[in-house]
Amino acid sequence: MDKLWPGRKVLAISKKESKGLLSEKTFLLTVFIQLFIATFSVFLIFGLTTFYDPGALQDFEMQSPQVGVFGNEESEFYDILVNSDIEVTYYEDFSEAYIDFYTREIDAIIEIPYEQADGEDLIDINVYMSRSELSATLVSINLKEPLEQFEEVVREVRTQRLPGYAPLDLDIESPKDGTTIINLEFIYVALLPLLLLTPAFISGGLVIDFITEEFEKKTVGLLLVSPVSLLDIISGKVLVAVFIVPIQSLAWMILLVLNGIEINNFLSILVLVSLIATILVTIGGSISLLVKERGIAQMFYSFILILMVMISYLYVNSPLNMITRLALDSIPLIESIYWLLLYTLIAIVLLLLLINSSRKGDIADIY
Amino acid sequence: MPAWSIISKWELKRSLTKFDRKTVSLLLLALVLIFVVTYAASMAGFGLNQKIYSVASSQPELNDIISNDPRFNVEYANEPWKLLGQDTKYDIIIINDRAYLSGTEKSAAAGKALENALINYRETILSSYKSIPDSHPVWVIVHDIDRPESFELLGDVRSMDTDTRQDTEAQQDTEAQQDTENDIEAGKDSDVSPEDVSEKDEHFVHPSERFEMDQQATITLFQTQTISTPSHFSPPIPFMAILYSFLFIFPIYIIAQLYSSSMMEERTNRKCQLLLAAPLRSIDIVLGKTAPYIITLMLLVIIISTFIQQPSTIREVTTVFSMALIMLPVILLFMALSFIAAIFSRSFKELTFSMVFLSVIVSGYLFFPAMFANIHAVSAISPMTLIVNLVEGNQIDVNTYLFSTVPFYLVSLSLYGLGTSIFNEENLFSQKNLISKSLDSIEKFLEFPGGSVFTLSLVSIPFIYMLQLMFIIILFNLPLPYSILIMIFLSAFVEELAKSIGILTIIKKKLEHINLKKATLLSILAGTGFFVGEKLISVITLTPIESSLFGFVMSMGPLLLLPLMLHVSATAIVGIGLYYLGHRYYLVLLLAATFVHSFYNIYLLRGILVG
């Protein structure tokens, strides 16, 4: 009979906290933040694509940049430029081109070098433009490919002089349609892990508020004279904070799928997100038991969070990386199970530590 | 000793007692770990994209090359042709000298990534050769040369003659490219004569001379590259500088968190009751509690900018202080928002949510434009853009500083004003919700000597201005006609809200006896107040972006009488409507006014929208 009680008490605390969450409309703010991150990323995607794939800009009626050239008319580089997206006008010398540059007839001036591909010297290509203008960016984007083509032509001739150099010969099949690599990597490597883990990040901070509020308002004393223990209180709060995470993440995943972004291994991702939420929430709980003061506890938590995010960069199958790999179906089943078990183990160890420290805590410790 | 400084001392002492030895050592440990791990992560290249593509290949020497790129998971396949055409987990299958893709989107991305990996490999191999003319034969040298902005060529005619607006509109597209940095120069040579051109011409005509100058210039870490090979040739996006400017924001988040906690603490358990009972003005309490945090942050900012700049000349020392001066309004805004959030929240949870929300929004406002620091005039609305410019070694002029910081100053000051006005027992220790607390603070404002719906509209201008700038950022990249339409609607909405909120407060709180005449009078006052404020701020700050399309939407050109009529009549819809229907219909009336306002603006802009 008595065995049943702890669970029921924990649930009662959970109920109280979730009611508080729902009655405060600010909870909607967090949902809004996540929406904001999402829309924001769409702009970022757009910005990045336009920077790296100027072709995408053509839908927006960007005129091709006007460039003036002077110098060697016979150079291969001149031919490459004429055949590129850039509109080229030939001038006799720099000052003539500069007058048109000054009056905005052209946006950049390029000096075509006289040095030949089979020559001995470096080939300098001088580009004159006003760097602070948008047109300079457009010129730079459109100039990159012709420059690389020209470099290719010159290298064809010159690398033969390098002893022992043999170019790698691998013919890569060209993809069927013009998919841009930036988009795929941006969505799966940056956006998806960030969106799915934001609820977990927030929950870790939330549990600090739950617990320190009781300390600060001294209501924890009132709760403790009732037949609930500190352990019941903490467990109840941790439960709510963890539970709301997979719900939010699931909503995100459904939204993304509806937007045509394919996500593999739905279930494993949800399990992973819940595990990370458990880890972060128990860390938040332990910090608040240790510090008991909201400002310091939150500061401490932010430090730990930053630390953990930075550690994520260091190894394969860090939570952020693993979400990417799961969603792209790039991780073998066995490997994913192995790592999920590892994170489960970490979560359990942290939970036990939290349980242990909240068992020890009594009223004397709180005041 | 002024009262506020005593409070400051208390606050400082009290917050220091929170940091006992155990906490401090733990925090320091965490910080040291963060530095170590961040360093390690930067060495590893900040990649979260490890092993996302899988490759099967029978070429061992190729496999070594490919697996140098962390994105690939390479497996040796004895007979790779058996894998072809099957539904395998491999994105790329390499047979002899051909790489086959599987046809999925991911596989296409993998193919592109493989191409880049091979190019990178070739660059590394070629770099090992000493004979540079053979390995890296082509070099691009970028010279940054000046020319007058297109709006300068149009001259200052705009301000004198309204008719030239037409010409200006025609130039909109090109003018969007203008850069505010050159404002000072704009003043100097606004009438461009052929002599000027040839003079500049002579100065720039010798590429060789220019090249020597470039070579002499000391190349620092932050200087944008001028010489590169074609594969390293890239558009000027200031990634490095943005990373550095992020260093400034991080301490602000942390201190703002502590500050709002301390403010909130005064409210829980009514700790502040004693202070309020003391013979102190609430402004002293607020100032005293805030000053230590702002001073700490300013010190931190100076330390960080010293770290970034490592000043050795007097000019660089001034840059350090310019950075601090640019960050001051940002700090003020963060503090003001934390203050308001702490006063309005009913619990710690609510405080966390609102702080996260506000920080995300403000960070977006700060960092998104900074991405475009080198290319778009509108980017100067964010102080972070100025920081990026300074880090890159450019100068900032006073106009640009005012343009991007005045809204920050004004908004933070008025937020502090509103917050201080309700810094009393009634509001601090009650569980009132956000709307009723806001209406309370507006009521306090109206009761203040000089407070009226007219001055309320006037004070609301910086908020509206900043909100509209925020809309610009959010709508920055949407395709053109839509972004302008949404912008018009949102702007109209917040403007109507600002003008009518005072009237709503008066009617709802029954501050004055209202009849039809009174309601009309109030509407006229509120509308005129807004109009006056709008014109004032556009004179002060909009000049740098006035000629861009977005700026035009905000200021609506030089027309005078029509906007005044519009502001008054749209407010009258709400004012008189409230009188007849009661305050429950506020939202409906507000939307009606918004539509009227939007249609007027759309009508004005019809030429641009259709053409």
Residue B313 confidence class, pLDDT cut points 50, 70, 90: confident
For residue A233, what are its two tokens? 């209180």
Q: Does A164 touch chain B if contact means CB atoms closer than 8 Å?
A: no
Residue type (1 letter), B49: N
CB contact under 8 A, A209 and B352: yes
User: How far is Cα B394 from Cα A301, in angstroms, rounded to an integer?
Assistant: 38
Report the residue from A130, A179, A310 with minimal CB separation from B34: A310
> Are B296 and B255 in contact, with CB atoms under 8 Å apart?
yes
Domain check: are B188 and B91 in the same one?
Answer: no
User: What is the count of structural domains for chain B?
Assistant: 3
Tell me whether residue B113 is in a domain: yes
Q: Does B429 touch chain A if contact means CB atoms closer than 8 Å?
A: no
Residue B168 confidence class, pLDDT cut points 50, 70, 90: very low
Q: How close, in Å, is residue A229 to chain B by CA atoms?
A: 23
Stretch among A40-49, A179-188, B319-328 having the lowest mean pLDDT: A40-49
The proportion of chain A whose per-residue pLDDT surpasses 90, expressed as a percent, equals: 24
Report the residue from B142, B147, B177 with minimal CB separation from A101: B147
Contacts of A131 in chain B (CB under 8 A): 142, 144, 224, 236, 374
Strand order in the sheet with A87-90: A87-90, A66-71, A108-112, A123-129, B138-144, B227-228
Q: Check pLDDT > 60 for residue B455.
A: yes
Q: Coil, strand, or helix at residue B330?
A: helix
User: How far is Cα B606 from Cα B611, in angstroms, rounded to an integer?
Assistant: 8
Interface of A with B in 284-303 (CB under 8 A): 291, 293-296, 298-300, 302-303
Domain check: are B579 and B512 in the same one?
Answer: yes
Domain check: are B184 and B57 in the same one?
Answer: no
Can you give the pLDDT at residue A99? Answer: 85
Tell me whether residue B205 is in a domain: no
Tell me whether residue B136 is in a domain: yes
Last residue of a domain, one of B125, B140, B155: B140
Is B200 or A8 the better-scoring residue by pLDDT?
A: A8
Can you give the pLDDT at residue A40? Answer: 63
Contacts of B260 in chain A (CB under 8 A): 295
Q: Pick from B521, B525, B534: which is nearest to B495 by CA?
A: B534
Stretch among B129-133, B208-212, B269-273 having the lowest mean pLDDT: B208-212
CA angle at residue B167 from B161 to B171, to 5 degrees? Answer: 130
Q: Check pLDDT > 70 for residue A361.
A: no
Strand partners, A108: A67, A129
Q: Does A143 touch chain B if contact means CB atoms closer than 8 Å?
A: yes
**pLDDT 10s digits, A126-142:** 888 877 666 777 788 78
Q: Does B183 touch chain A if contact means CB atoms closer than 8 Å?
A: no
Tell me whether residue B253 is in a domain: no
> Are B453 and B525 in contact, with CB atoms under 8 Å apart?
yes
Instruction: Determine the structural domain holding residue B157 and report its residue range.
Output: 142-199
* Conformation bin of residue B27: beta by default, left when phi > 0, alpha when psi is -120 to 50: alpha
- Provide mean pLDDT across the span A111-121: 85
Tell me whether residue B92 is in a domain: yes
Tell me whether residue B10 is in a domain: no
Residue type (1 letter), A356: N
Can you give the pLDDT at residue A165? Answer: 79
Q: Check pLDDT > 80 for residue B44.
A: no
CB contact under 8 A, A313 and B44: yes
Is B18 or B558 the better-scoring residue by pLDDT?
A: B18
Domain check: are B136 and B72 in the same one?
Answer: yes
Is A279 or B286 the better-scoring residue by pLDDT?
A: A279
**pLDDT 10s digits, A47-96:** 555 555 554 444 444 567 888 998 888 888 888 888 887 888 898 888 88
CB contact under 8 A, A324 and B257: no
User: How far is Cα A274 from Cα A244, in angstroms, rounded to an integer?
Assistant: 9
Strand ranges (E), B4-147: 53-57, 72-76, 92-95, 98-101, 138-144
CATH number for the domain harbouring residue B90: 3.40.190
Residue B101's CB is within 10 A of a number of other CB atoms, namely: 22
Domain check: are B129 and B160 in the same one?
Answer: no
User: How far is Cα A321 from Cα B209, in angstroms, rounded to an integer?
Assistant: 51
Residue B524's CB is within 10 A of a number of other CB atoms, namely: 19
Tell me whether residue B102 is in a domain: yes
Domain check: are B560 and B516 in the same one?
Answer: yes
Sign of the Cα pseudo-torsion (B112, B118, B119, B121, in order) = positive
The proportion of chain B whose per-residue pLDDT surpasses 90, expressed as a percent, equals: 7
Q: Pick from A110, A108, A147, A98: which is nearest to A130 by CA?
A: A108
Q: Does B189 touch chain A if contact means CB atoms closer than 8 Å?
A: no
Domain check: are B59 and B195 in the same one?
Answer: no
Domain check: are B58 and B192 in the same one?
Answer: no
Interface of B with A in 132-151 (CB under 8 A): 132-135, 137-148, 150
Domain check: are B507 and B593 in the same one?
Answer: yes
Mean pLDDT, chain B, rounded, equals: 75
Domain check: are B69 and B176 in the same one?
Answer: no
Can you give the pLDDT at residue A63? Answer: 61
Q: How close, in Å, is residue B558 to chain A by CA atoms?
A: 27
Stretch among A2-16, A265-279, B340-354 having the lowest mean pLDDT: A2-16
User: How far is Cα A43 from Cα A181, in angstroms, rounded to an integer?
Assistant: 17
- Residue B423, φ and ψ in degrees, nearest 5: -80, 70
CB contact under 8 A, B37 and A311: yes
> Are B59 and B96 in contact, with CB atoms under 8 Å apart?
yes
What are chain A's domains?
Answer: 4-48+180-366 (no CATH), 60-161 (3.40.1710.10)
For residue B385, what are its two tokens? 């853009």
What stretch of H or E contains A104? none
**pLDDT 10s digits, B105-120:** 888 888 888 888 888 8
Interface of B with A in 68-87 (CB under 8 A): 73
User: How far is Cα B181 from Cα B172, in angstroms, rounded to an integer?
Assistant: 19
How many residue contacts between A and B have a Cβ separation below 8 Å? Answer: 336
B19, closest residue in chain A (CA to CA): A296
Domain check: are B93 and B155 in the same one?
Answer: no
Domain check: are B468 and B532 in the same one?
Answer: yes
C-alpha atoms less than 13 angstroms from C-alpha of B564 in its C-beta half-sphere: 10
Last residue of a domain, one of B161, B178, B199: B199
Can you give the pLDDT at residue B407? Answer: 82
Q: Does B41 touch chain A if contact means CB atoms closer than 8 Å?
A: yes
Contacts of A116 in chain B (CB under 8 A): none
What stretch of H or E contains A90? strand A87-90
Report the residue from B46, B224, B477 with minimal CB separation from A313: B46
Q: Check pLDDT > 70 for residue A320.
A: yes
DSSP state of A24: S
**pLDDT 10s digits, A275-290:** 999 999 999 999 999 8
CA angle at residue B429 from B424 to B430, to 5 degrees? Answer: 110
Q: Does A55 touch chain B if contact means CB atoms closer than 8 Å?
A: no
User: How far is Cα B53 from Cα A331, in angstroms, rounded to an integer?
Assistant: 9
Last residue of a domain, one of B124, B140, B156: B140
> Are A57 and B479 in contact, with CB atoms under 8 Å apart?
no
The two beta strands, A171-172 and B98-101, are: parallel
Tell me whether residue B536 is in a domain: yes
